[in-house]
A and B are shown apart, each in its own frame.
Chain A
């Protein structure tokens, strides 16, 4: 039952908080963006806090994402690396292999809409190529997309093609101008606004612009239809506390931690039928 935690740390280190989350939620795969500190510092704190060894293989190949695994080293294989995208194949001791793609695409401060779309399309093409290469699409994409679920990079058919219902995703794909485009299910559609479970988003930002969303859901987990049998909606969470410490202050993200909230997803890869 791999539990995957993603957190953009905004270069704040936060080794204690990360390690506590890993212990509290029994995290198997930790994915970090803007980690700020060395792998070794995280590994030491993780080991101290959880009593488990987290390995960090192949992070030298990755430019924007760090992975930490509570698995034996032979269970992890690198699949692809590019700017803002790192894909690893996980062959857990029990169950079938899955692909975990960690993403951290450029922020709106450093990339305009076209550049963000370019990066999203490029990432999806690499994910699809890896799936074809490995012969399966049991893929979870998790990370900081720096785009909301409703933006082109997440929705467009030639991009992530993330849809808001499992029912649509289960159709696997659709033809767009004679090209077959595979779906992702994007459960983060159901995590926006204050009518949703948990906070209104994963990132809070306010300026004096005419169009202001305040809350953004930049941190997302996208699931290919082939992995949907191992996913339950209640197993995706935007975390708002580390133990008794809240990551929120007066309805906004506390400045004492990162400017992003962590997200966590639990998959049951041992389920029959995958």
Chain B
């Protein structure tokens, strides 16, 4: 049996594939969900992009506030992954990230910004107040 010559050279292995920008977003979304025990959900929505780009959005969802949604940011990237276009939807600032390092740095700036922190705090406080009120109503009903 004759062996077939590999003309492809070395092909990338699955474990060597680069992380897509949306995967990084999903990881950050999950972190918020875990950190708040599901009170707030870090949700990633895939959006309709133009034919040459992928689009996704990271939002905070509050299930106990009627599924209230606060939009944090949107990303847009081509099949070749970079550059990633980030729109910080808290202040409407657009930035272009040429590689993973720049992307993660920008993401961190937005997610740890005072604006996002204050929104998370306000939502948690509101939900906590509603829960206390509901508990009180329930106790009074008994």
A, B from the same assembly: yes
Complex CA–CA separation, A80 to B91 (angstroms): 16
Q: Which of A108-123 contact B (CB under 8 A)?
A: 119, 122
Q: Is A201 an interface residue (CB 8 A)?
A: no
* CB atoms of A106 and B71 under 8 A apart: no
Give a binary string over A233-245; 1 marks a CB under 8 Å from any B CB, 0 the rest.
0000000000000
Question: Do A77 and B71 contact each other (CB < 8 Å), given the known contacts A63-B91, A83-B92?
Answer: no
CB neighbours (8 Å) of B132 from chain A are: none
* CB atoms of B69 and A129 under 8 A apart: yes
* CB atoms of B47 and A125 under 8 A apart: yes
Which of A61, A84, A130 is close to B92, meaning CB atoms less than 8 Å apart? A84
Which of B67, B70, B89, B91 is close to A61, meaning CB atoms less than 8 Å apart? B70
Most buried by A among B47, B66, B74: B66
Which of B47, B67, B119 is close to A60, meaning CB atoms less than 8 Å apart? B119
**Chain B's nearest CB lies how many Å from the CB of A248?**
32
Q: Is A1 an interface residue (CB 8 A)?
A: no
Q: Which residue of B lies closest to A82 (CB)?
A: B71
Q: Is A174 an interface residue (CB 8 A)?
A: no
* CB atoms of A126 and B92 under 8 A apart: no
Complex CA–CA separation, A119 to B87 (angstroms): 11
**Chain B's nearest CB lies how many Å from the CB of A87?**
9
Q: Is B122 an interface residue (CB 8 A)?
A: yes
* CB atoms of B69 and A130 under 8 A apart: yes
Q: Is B111 an interface residue (CB 8 A)?
A: no
Number of interface residues of B (CB under 8 A): 18
CB neighbours (8 Å) of A133 from chain B are: 66-67
**Chain B's nearest CB lies how many Å from the CB of A55?**
14
Q: Which residue of B lies closest to A133 (CB)?
A: B67
* CB atoms of B118 and A60 under 8 A apart: yes
* CB atoms of A78 and B71 under 8 A apart: no
* CB atoms of B90 and A80 under 8 A apart: no
Complex CA–CA separation, A175 to B115 (angstroms): 39
Give a binary string over A70-105; 1 marks a CB under 8 Å from any B CB, 0 the rest.
000000011111111000010000000000000000
* CB atoms of B70 and A89 under 8 A apart: no
Which of A79, A80, A89 is close to B71, meaning CB atoms less than 8 Å apart? A80
CB neighbours (8 Å) of A125 from chain B are: 47
Most buried by B among A77, A78, A125, A134: A78
Complex CA–CA separation, A102 to B118 (angstroms): 21
CB neighbours (8 Å) of A60 from chain B are: 118-119, 122
Q: Is B65 an interface residue (CB 8 A)?
A: yes
Complex CA–CA separation, A129 to B70 (angstroms): 13
* CB atoms of A79 and B66 under 8 A apart: yes
Q: Which 9 A-B pairs have the closest CB atoms?
A: A82-B71, A83-B92, A80-B69, A83-B89, A78-B68, A60-B122, A81-B70, A77-B66, A82-B89
Show 22 residue pairs from A and B whose CB-CB distance is below 8 angstroms, ordered by the A residue.
A61-B122, A77-B65, A77-B68, A78-B65, A78-B66, A78-B68, A81-B70, A82-B70, A82-B89, A83-B89, A83-B90, A83-B91, A83-B92, A84-B92, A106-B92, A119-B92, A126-B71, A129-B69, A130-B69, A133-B66, A133-B67, A134-B66
